[in-house]
């Protein structure tokens, strides 16, 4: 059998279910890698070896009991509550919180048999597109440890890409799962609001942030979404239960919209980004999908409205006045900016964002997906797709790329742009 960290999450679950490997053997293997490699990629801020091994021993004692991901190691982002583990929010300005209960998304992971290995690194309160928590090493992509793993779910992305866990949890309000997925060559999914409950720690607020997931294959991402999707009583946003599993299946012919206009800055996209964008579109065409040019779905003004909503939310964080100097410079700047925003300005900015989102969806009504090139220097080809359709399209792209090359470093060059699935056996870069 290949190394356990080279297996997909589904393969690890199969090995535990068939007793080809015990849950304790799996957890011990990943704990060893976390101890050896975790600091060099800035993946974890807390590793719960004792708790993980206790859970694994219980799985070996009682069996998997039909739980689909029993024995699979997972990391949870350090903005989310895990029973008995400190949540530090990446900040020196607040004392860590040790909850008595799991947040709902973590409880669902445990119900599926997953083993929480620890808490993954996040920047302060998840505010940035890079992950440099206070008092901990920065999160780096294991493919090139001189470069960032992105943010704000950078610790989770680094952990999955380096083979320290099989899959990981993240949160995403403005790219905090998708950006690290791009930086680390992973599948990153931000589900629709209401698909995974945000309870019980906080409500939906302005509706930006949701729980998401990071994986090395589309099938693993679908399995984790199956495990975590579902409401908690009292949720402000709930979606109807899916008709079936999110497991990927070949899509019908799709009409895919594309544009090259950066939404966030008046810049010319880097040639490498354009080449990746064109390559993705060409591959979609080769797979039988229709790729058409579309206008940018959002106006440039959306960035300013987002900043207003973001800063207002940061200003509302419950930070004791005497602890404010311990905040990072960015958090202090955002709080100062947010304090100058009154309720009417905030409400108007939020209304424009929501109205713009509805207009963008209406404009894209004749295409099943939208693929957009982003700003210069950001290698990130983004697919705005509904859960099952998006996973299916990514799976078809991944299958095409896997047929073309089984070399993990070669296929990384495409995955880095497309967030494609890895081959079923993948060698971690470290």
Position 411 in a domain: no
Position 424 in a domain: no
Integer-rounded Cα radius of gyration of the chain: 21
- Give the model's pLDDT for residue 317: 94
Give every residue of the chain whose pLDDT is below 50, as ranges. Answer: 372-389, 392-393, 396, 398-425
- Give the model's pLDDT for residue 427: 63
Name the β-bridge partners of 292.
257
End-to-end, the C-alpha distance of the chain in Å comes to 19
- Give the model's pLDDT for residue 391: 52
Q: Which two tokens stand for residue 287?
A: 């797979």
- Give the model's pLDDT for residue 340: 97
Query: Do 341 and 200 belong to one domain?
Result: no
Supply angle C-alpha 50, 181, 370, rounded to 5.
145
Burial 16-37, CB ≥16 within 10 A → b, else e: bbeeebbbbbbbebbbebbeeb
Structural domain ending residue among the three candidates 362, 386, 414: 362
- Given 120, 176, 369, 382, the catalytic residue: 176
- Give the model's pLDDT for residue 364: 79
Rounded Cα gap, residues 211 and 198, in angstroms: 7
Position 182 in a domain: yes
Position 405 in a domain: no
Q: Are strands 73-77 and 210-215 parallel, antiparallel or unpaired?
A: unpaired
Query: Do 204 and 129 belong to one domain?
Result: yes
Instruction: Determine the structural domain holding residue 17 and report its residue range.
Output: 4-246
Structural domain ending residue among the three candidates 246, 265, 284: 246
Integer angstrom CA distances of residue 136 from 8, 48, 90, 118, 139: 29, 17, 9, 15, 9
For residue 176, indicate whether it is catalytic.
Answer: yes
Question: What does the pLDDT look like over 325-374, one tens digit per residue?
Answer: 999 999 999 999 999 999 999 999 999 999 988 888 888 787 866 554 32
Q: What is the largest CA-CA distance in the chain?
A: 61
Cis peptide before 152 (omega within 30 of 0): yes
Q: Using CB atoms within 10 A of its CB, is residue 197 exposed (0-12), middle (13-18) or buried (19+)?
A: buried
- Give the model's pLDDT for residue 249: 76
Cis peptide before 3 (omega within 30 of 0): no
Rounded Cα gap, residues 422 and 186, in angstroms: 8
Packed helices 329-339 and 301-315: angle between N→C axes, nearest 10 degrees: 100
**Residue 62 belongs to a domain with what CATH number?**
3.90.1300.10
How many domains does the chain divide into?
2
- Given 91, 119, 120, 152, the catalytic residue: 152
For residue 22, indicate whether it is catalytic.
Answer: no
For residue 77, indicate whether it is catalytic.
Answer: yes
- Stated pTM of the model: 0.87
Query: Do 203 and 319 belong to one domain?
Result: no
**Alpha helices, DSSP H only, in 22-62?**
23-41, 49-62
Q: Which two tokens stand for residue 190?
A: 């931000």
For residue 183, the tally of other CB atoms under 10 A from its CB is 30
| Nearest CA-CA partner of 387 in 264, 222, 161, 234 | 222
Position 100 in a domain: yes
């Amino acid at each position: 059998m290949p190394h356990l960290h080279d297996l997909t999450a589904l393969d690890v679950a199969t090995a535990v279910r068939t007793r080809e490997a015990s849950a304790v053997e799996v957890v011990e293997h990943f704990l060893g890698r976390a101890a050896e490699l975790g600091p060099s990629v800035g993946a974890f801020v807390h590793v719960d070896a004792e708790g993980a091994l206790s859970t694994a021993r219980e799985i070996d004692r009682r069996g998997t009991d039909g739980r689909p991901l029993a024995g699979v190691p997972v990391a949870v982002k350090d903005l989310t509550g895990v029973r008995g583990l400190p949540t530090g929010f990446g900040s020196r300005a607040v004392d860590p919180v040790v909850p008595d209960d799991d947040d709902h998304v973590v409880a669902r992971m445990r119900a599926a048999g997953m083993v929480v290995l620890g808490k993954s690194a996040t920047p302060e309160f998840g505010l940035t597109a890079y992950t440099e928590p206070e008092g901990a090493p920065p999160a780096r992509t294991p493919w090139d440890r001189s470069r960032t793993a992105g943010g704000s779910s950078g610790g989770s992305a680094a952990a999955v890409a380096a083979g320290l866990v099989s899959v990981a949890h993240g949160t995403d309000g403005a790219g905090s799962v998708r950006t690290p997925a791009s930086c680390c060559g992973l599948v990153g999914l931000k589900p629709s609001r209401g698909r995974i409950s945000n309870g019980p720690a906080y409500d939906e607020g302005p509706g930006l942030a949701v729980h998401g997931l990071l994986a090395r294959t589309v099938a693993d991402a679908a399995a984790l979404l199956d495990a975590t999707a579902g409401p908690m009583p009292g949720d402000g946003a709930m979606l109807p239960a899916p008709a079936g599993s999110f497991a990927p299946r070949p899509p019908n012919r799709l009409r895919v919209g594309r544009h090259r206009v950066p939404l966030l800055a008046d810049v010319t996209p880097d040639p490498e980004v354009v080449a990746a964008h064109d390559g993705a579109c060409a591959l979609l065409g080769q797979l039988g999908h229709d790729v058409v040019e579309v206008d940018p779905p959002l106006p440039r003004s959306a960035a300013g409205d987002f900043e207003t909503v973001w800063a207002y939310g940061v200003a509302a964080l419950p930070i004791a006045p005497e602890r404010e100097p311990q905040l990072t410079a960015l958090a202090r700047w955002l709080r100062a900016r947010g304090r100058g925003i009154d309720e009417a300005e905030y409400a108007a900015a939020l209304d424009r964002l929501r109205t713009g989102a509805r207009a963008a969806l209406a404009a894209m009504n004749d295409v099943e997906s939208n693929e957009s090139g982003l700003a210069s220097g950001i290698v990130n080809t983004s697919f705005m797709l509904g859960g099952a359709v998006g996973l299916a399209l990514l799976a078809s792209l991944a299958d095409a790329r896997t047929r073309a090359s089984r070399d993990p470093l070669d296929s990384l060059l495409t995955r880095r742009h497309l967030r494609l699935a890895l081959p079923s056996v993948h060698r971690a870069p470290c």
